[in-house]
Structure 1
Amino acid sequence: MLNLRIMSPADMTDDVLEALDSDDSVSGLAVMRGAALRPVGDVVTANVAREAANDIIARLRGLGVHHRGSIEIQQVPTWLSRSGFEAEIRCPGSASDSVVWADVAQRSYEATELNWTYLSFMTLATVIASIAIISDSQVLVIGAMVLGPEFGAIAALGVALVRRRYVLGMLAIRTLVLGFVAAIVATLVLALIGRALGWITLDDVVGPRPGTAFIYSPDKWSFIVALVAGAAGVLSLTSAKATALAGVFISVTTVSAAGNIALGAAFGVGSAIAESSLQLLVNIAGMALAGWGTLALQNVLWSRISVRRARAMLRPRRML
């Protein structure tokens, strides 16, 4: 169940109420006349079955509510309502499977914002990854993977392609490139300091590392894992039951590869730079491709469900 809170200019409120009241997926509807001060108008709230959210939001956007007012979308974690239950039964599909595209797009834009927080997490994750490589610690590698914030921007690439939001795609590419470059440069500086102090040696970079050798050894499995992880990550972001995202971070070696690039550059080891760069590109490409494919499939499936719902609305309502 979703709750829509709409700030509506007074002259648009009747159209908004008609759009909501005519839909069987709306189980609760209320209006507070004159409650809004900016814009001057009314506040409308509606309880909506998640499966129908895209159609209703598209109808409100068609009225231009978001240009003169606002539409807020909130997940209702717990609710008790017979009419709400009946509304969900009437809607084709499953609430957990449904994709609320407005929510996905909003989170994608937030994930691609290049800010101090993003750069800090990316740099810290890459530094931890470089320490993991030096100490050959798988535990630290996992910690670095979980800390890295790059998956949101990678998933945004798929959203940009599927929803044709090309500005979002450019923002995602910029955030990924500048984020990794900044993290690698910062880690390189620290690696050079560690080399000068004698804390890091060439053997730490080129010597045997059985625990972390996978970081700089790209193969077919690297790409396959990236594909599977990317699909799982996108499903976690779009589903109402997002429980698998941490597992995605642990599955891929993006920040770890970036850490190895920095160490290779600090000691002039070309093979480490080349192989780790390839690993990084393989992981990003695999996750972006899987994200695009998963979102494209969801888009097709829910477009068909929207058609089924529209046909069902034309039939006389049955009491459950």
Structure 2
Amino acid sequence: MLHLRLITPADTTDEVVRLIEKTVGTTHVVVLPGAARNPSGDVVLCDVAREAGDELLTGLQELGLDRTGSIAVENIDLSLSKRADKAEAEAPGEPADAVLWEHLVDATHEESTLSVTYVAFITLATMIAACGVVLDNAILIVGAMAVGPEFGPLAGICTAIVQRTPRLAARSLIALLAGFAAAMALTAAFGLFMDAVGLFTEAQLEAARPNTGFIYAPDWFSFVVAVLAGAAGTLSLTSAKSGALVGVAISVTTVPAAANAAVALIYGDTNQTVRSSEQLLLNLLGIILAGTLTLLAQKYFWKRYRQRT
């Protein structure tokens, strides 16, 4: 269930309440006349089944409430109410299948911002991966994959394509490209420092690496795994099952490929640099393709389902 807190101008409150009451899957409607001060107006509270949430939010936006008042949405972790159970049963579809498009756009917008924190996370992840590739340590590679925040901008690009929001696409693309560029540059400097103190050597990089050699050996399996991970990651975002994102993060070799390219570059190994870069681009392309197709499929099938009900 979702909880909505609305601030409505007094002259639109009745219309808002009528919209809520005619939306299947809503309950616990509360109207507090004149309770809002900034902006001034009435406060309307209600609960709505997740599968009916997108329809209600769209209707509220069509009434202009996002411009004249306020729409706030919260997840309800526990609701002990027979009315809530009845509302969920009446709402068409299953909660896990419903996509809250406004929530998805808002979430990906936040995760795809080029901030100091984002650059710090992707740089630290790439540096950890650099240690992993030089030491041929698979545990460090997995740890670096889990730390990397790059799925946020990738999801932002997919959402922007489906929802046709150019600003989100530009913001996500900038975060993705600038983030990896900064991370690789700083990791190259980190590699030079580690080489200077004798912790990294060219011999380690060029030696047989049975645990991490796949990072600079792109093939069709790399693309297939990226596609599968992109679909799984997108489903985890739209169904609010964020725990699955950890599994997605350690399935693709984006950060490790960037790290291998950076370290290989400082030692002049153009073959590994090029091959690692190919691995990176192949994984990014696979995730974007799969994420976009997954969102399009969800949008299409949910629309068809709602038309039949």
Alignment partners' CA distance in 1, 2:91 and 2:41: 31
8 Å CA contact 1:55, 1:306 repeated in 2: no
Q: Distance in 2 between matches of 1:240 and 1:111?
A: 15
Q: How many residues align?
A: 309
Indicate yes or no: 2:48 matched with 1:48. yes
CA deviation vs aligned residue, 1:41-66 (integer Å, no higher than 9, x gap): 11111110111111111100000000
Report the TM-score when normalising by structure 2: 0.97
Do 2:23 and 2:52's aligned partners in 1 also have CA atoms closer than 8 Å? Answer: no
Match of 1:244 in 2: 244
Tell me what 1:202 maps to.
202
Q: Distance in 1 between matches of 2:114 and 2:180?
A: 11
Instruction: Say whether the 8 Å CA contact 1:97–1:240 is kept in structure 2.
Output: no
Task: Find the counterpart in structure 1 of residue 172 from structure 2.
Answer: 172
> In the TM superposition, what whole-angstrom CA distance separates every residue of 1:29-82 from its partner, at most 9, and x where no partner exists?
001111111101111111101111111111000000001221111111111222
1:203 CA displacement: 1.2
| Structure 2 counterparts to residues 74-93 of structure 1, below 5 A | 74-93=74-93
> Hey, what's the Cα distance between the residues in 1 that align with 2:180 and 2:37?
44
Number of the residue aligned with 2:213: 213
Question: Could you tell me the percent identity over the aligned residues?
Answer: 42
- Is 2:112 the partner of 1:112? yes
In structure 1, the residue matched to 2:99 is: 99
Q: CA shift at 1:91, angstroms? A: 1.8
Question: Which residue pairs with 1:8 in the alignment?
Answer: 8
Q: Distance in 2 between matches of 1:156 and 1:126?
A: 21
**How far 1:273 sits from its partner (Å)?**
0.8
Amino acid at match of 1:203: A
Moved over 6 A (4+): none
Q: Distance in 2 between matches of 1:278 and 1:124?
A: 22
Q: How big is the shift at 1:308? A: 3.6
Distance, in Å, in 2 between the alignment partners of 1:55 and 1:61 is 10
Is the CA contact (8 Å cut-off) linking 2:126 and 2:144 kept in structure 1? yes
Note the alpha carbon deviations across 1:64-122, whole angstroms, 9 max, x for none: 00012211111111112222222222222101211111111110100111101100000
Q: Secondary structure at the match of 1:29?
A: strand
Structure 1: unaligned runs, 5 residues or longer: 310-320
Kindly provide the CA deviation profile for residues 101-148 of structure 1, in whole angstroms up to 9, marking residues without a partner as x: 111111010011110110000000000000001111100000000000
Q: 2: distance between equivalents of 1:46 and 1:304? A: 27
C-alpha contact (below 8 Å) 2:32/2:43 kept by paired residues:
yes
- Please give the alpha-carbon distance, in whole angstroms, between the structure 1 residues aligned to 2:49 and 2:272: 52
SS of equivalent to 2:34:
strand
Q: Which residue of 1 aligns with 2:270?
A: 270
Residues 33-42 or 198-207, more deviating: 198-207
**How far apart, in 1, do the equivalents of 2:172 and 2:24 lie?**
38
Q: CA deviation at 1:11?
A: 2.3
Contact 1:229 1:251 in 2 (8 A): yes
Equivalent residue letter for 2:37: L
User: How many Å separate the matches in 1 of 2:154 and 2:77?
Assistant: 28
Quote the Cα distance in structure 2 between the aligned partners of 1:192 and 1:206: 16
Q: Which amino acid aligns with 1:12?
A: T
Aligned AA (1:128): I
Distance 2:221 2:228 in 1: 10
Name the counterpart of 1:225. 225
CA distance in 2, matches of 1:305, 1:240: 20
Deviation at 1:197, TM superposition (A): 2.6
Q: Distance in 2 between matches of 1:93 and 1:64?
A: 27
Contact (CA 8 Å) 1:92, 1:308: kept in 2 or not? no
Q: CA RMSD in A?
A: 1.1
Distance of 2:115 and 2:171 partners within structure 1: 12
Give, in whole Å, the separation in 1 of the partners of 2:302 and 2:45.
25
1:153 aligned residue? 153
- CA distance in 1 between partners of 2:117 and 2:241 (Å): 26
Aligned partner of 1:123 in structure 2 is: 123
**Cα distance in 2 for residues equivalent to 1:195 and 1:72:** 52
Aligned residue type for 1:147: V
SS at match of 1:86: helix
Residue aligning to 2:21: 21
